A and B are shown apart, each in its own frame.
Chain A
Amino acid sequence: MFKKGILIILIFTFFSSCNDDEQESYIPTPLAFEAPVLFQQLLPNPSFPADNPQTVEGVSLGRKLFFDKNLSADNTLACAGCHAPNQGFSDQRQFSIGIDGIAGFRNSMPLVNLAFNTRNKFNWDGSASSLEEQILEPVINEIEMHNTWPNAVATLQAQSDYPLLFEQAFGTATISKELATKAIAQFIRTIVSGNSKFDKHLRGEASLTPSEANGFAIFLDEDRGDCFHCHGSDSNPIWSDNDFHNNGLDEEFTDRGLGLITGDPAHFGLFKSPSLRNLAYTAPYMHDGRFETLDDVINHYSEGLVFSETIDPLMKSIAQGGVQLTEADKADLKAFLLSLSDPSLANNPNYQNPN
């Protein structure tokens, strides 16, 4: 009798511990990150948050959430509503329109190659210090999704499919804003663009036209474009320094940019350098989308710069309004910039709406 009792206790303990282990040690399927060859050669490996590694289940869930309008208060607006794959994961409207029909005040930033943003400053003004943190904001922003996280979580929890998907991704069917943002961040980190004509040129698979080649020379020339200091180069294929600059747009600031976050007057009017990839799809340009065309942008740097106290020292020839490019140089620079666009991005099956 005593022996039987011990046996029963042992068996019970064994199964109990098995159950505990299953819950505590659930590990979703790790997802290897596939960087383009040039990125592998030129850049450090992306570093993922220790508490949010890339997994097959997490990315799949994140993609579903990214395209799901249920994150907004009235179920009409998804992340993709302002970050469309066929618009370079940006928005071709100057300002995106929220669920109440109210426009924002900055142009939507493209969500491409963010896994390589090792500076961990996101948004035009650097207000988010991680991708997960960045994703928290639009859901509750009053002029964007205008929701609350408790409401968004309750909506997801009530769906028939989400609890299981969260369990598969994170080992728990209890949805939280932290897990939802982690999943979306995992998906966004998979959005990689590295197959433009210029990439192919660097890989020896395509040749630049004389106009594109001259445009690249202007881009690198300190006396003409001098674009590389802020926008990367063939050595930094993100095509951004991920830093903040005042590029001579305004004499006075209606939007303080980085200064709005830091409170430092020296940061007034500084905005993050956007990547120059996919410019063919991401018009309009600048933090406020003021320039409808690339021609407008080039004209600004050539003869439209204006002085303000925080203007970046790299903005040269302010008294003349800029570096005074010839019309031929402007055309060539534009041709080069467009060669950085990646037509495969929009139709990549991994980035499409799964819902």
Chain B
Amino acid sequence: MKKIALILFAAIAVIACDKNDDNETVVENVNFDINFSQNFNGTSITNANFNNVDYTVANGEMISFSRMRYLITDITFTNQAGVSTVVDEYNFVDVGEEIGATIENISLPVGAYTVSARFGFTEADNTTNAYPDLNNASWNVPEPMGGGYHYMQLEGQYINDIGATVGYAYHTISAAQDVMTPEVTREDTSILFTASNIVISNDNNIINVKMNIAEWFNPWNLNERDNGLMGNYDAQIDMNINGQTAFTIE
């Protein structure tokens, strides 16, 4: 009986030792947040800055913001071994309502990562009515305009060429052709953006996704394109080109 007990004790001790050895190779996890912020050529924009016609776009018009909502999807961290972790399938940011400004308490092993995210949905994910919370936010694109969901709704006022204050609605969607007809087609105009060597550690536990709004208007002539842009294929393609430089990850 004593021998059996001794064998059991020894076995337990060996197993315990093995576990300790494994623990020594495990990298420490750290909790971190992802913040989503907006700026106009470096000047921070929050809802406190709404409705002030204070911002000059590349074409020279002064503009304001009254609504700013956008969608970031497939937020992915890829470690140096090439292993990817999708930390959020999609994040809906509503600056006016202070929704989606932060994704909190993500846990990953410390280390350096390539971080990627996408503005808008890919074609595969841009499925009409697939996301009840986005339906509830009236974020849909009508089927006759291609269906799926908006990528961004940026609205406000600007001073036009004759000095009048006019509204604009810069809405980006999957670029569609032949809208309001049964032959409507659409083209993926989501934008993938990436940053490499983003280090997550106890000293760096906040990742910032920044959108420079000025880039959306560089170049852009609001006098020619200020409203009714969802069904304008060429406008959507130009928005896609401008948006390539709108996002950074730090």
Residues of A bordering B, CB below 8 Å: 41-44, 116, 118-119, 217, 220-223, 226, 228-230, 232-233, 235-236, 238, 241, 243, 266, 309-316, 318
B138 close to A236 (CB less than 8 A): yes
Q: A220-B145, A312-B167, A313-B67 are in contact. Are A236 and B155 (CB under 8 A)?
A: no
- The 7 A-B pairs with the shortest beta carbon distances in the complex, nearest first, are A313-B167, A266-B51, A220-B142, A235-B140, A241-B138, A313-B155, A222-B228
**Could you say which residues of chain B place their CB within 8 Å of the CB of A318?**
166-167
- Binary A-proximity of B101-116 (CB < 8 A = 1, otherwise 0): 0000000000000000
B227 close to A228 (CB less than 8 A): no
Would you list 19 pairs from A and B whose C-beta atoms are within 8 A, ordered by A residue?
A43-B135, A44-B132, A116-B136, A118-B136, A119-B97, A220-B142, A230-B138, A233-B140, A233-B142, A243-B138, A310-B51, A312-B66, A313-B67, A313-B156, A313-B169, A314-B167, A316-B167, A316-B228, A318-B167
Contact of B142 among A43, A228, A243, A313 (CB under 8 A): A228
Residues of B bordering A, CB below 8 Å: 50-51, 66-67, 97, 128-129, 132-133, 135-138, 140, 142-145, 155-157, 165-169, 180, 227-231
Q: A313-B155, A316-B227 are in contact. Are A228 and B135 (CB under 8 A)?
A: no
A195 to B41, CA, bound (A): 50
A42 close to B132 (CB less than 8 A): yes
A116 to B135, CA, bound (A): 12
Given contact pairs A233-B142, A235-B135, A316-B227, enumerate 4 new A-B contacts (beta carbons under 8 Å): A42-B135, A44-B136, A221-B231, A236-B135
A229 close to B138 (CB less than 8 A): yes
Contact of B128 among A221, A223, A235 (CB under 8 A): A235
Contact of A221 among B129, B137, B140, B180 (CB under 8 A): B180
A116 to B137, CA, bound (A): 11
A229 to B69, CA, bound (A): 13
A221 close to B144 (CB less than 8 A): yes
**CB proximity of A156 to chain B, nearest CB, Å:** 36
A42 close to B129 (CB less than 8 A): yes
**Could you say which residues of chain A place their CB within 8 Å of the CB of B169?**
313-314
**CB proximity of A150 to chain B, nearest CB, Å:** 37
B228 close to A223 (CB less than 8 A): yes
- Between B142, B165, B227, B230, the greatest number of chain A beta carbons within 10 A of the residue's beta carbon is seen for B142
Q: A228-B142, A314-B167 are in contact. Are A236 and B228 (CB under 8 A)?
A: no
B155 close to A266 (CB less than 8 A): no
B167 close to A266 (CB less than 8 A): no
A181 to B156, CA, bound (A): 39
Chain B: CB-nearest residue to A312: B167
**CB proximity of A122 to chain B, nearest CB, Å:** 16
A69 to B224, CA, bound (A): 58
**CB proximity of A41 to chain B, nearest CB, Å:** 7
B157 close to A313 (CB less than 8 A): yes
**Could you say which residues of chain B place their CB within 8 Å of the CB of A222?**
145, 228-231
B167 close to A315 (CB less than 8 A): yes
**CB proximity of B159 to chain A, nearest CB, Å:** 13
Chain B: CB-nearest residue to A44: B132
Chain B: CB-nearest residue to A224: B180
A83 to B138, CA, bound (A): 27
B167 close to A311 (CB less than 8 A): yes
B230 close to A236 (CB less than 8 A): no
**CB proximity of B144 to chain A, nearest CB, Å:** 6
**CB proximity of A125 to chain B, nearest CB, Å:** 17
B136 close to A43 (CB less than 8 A): yes
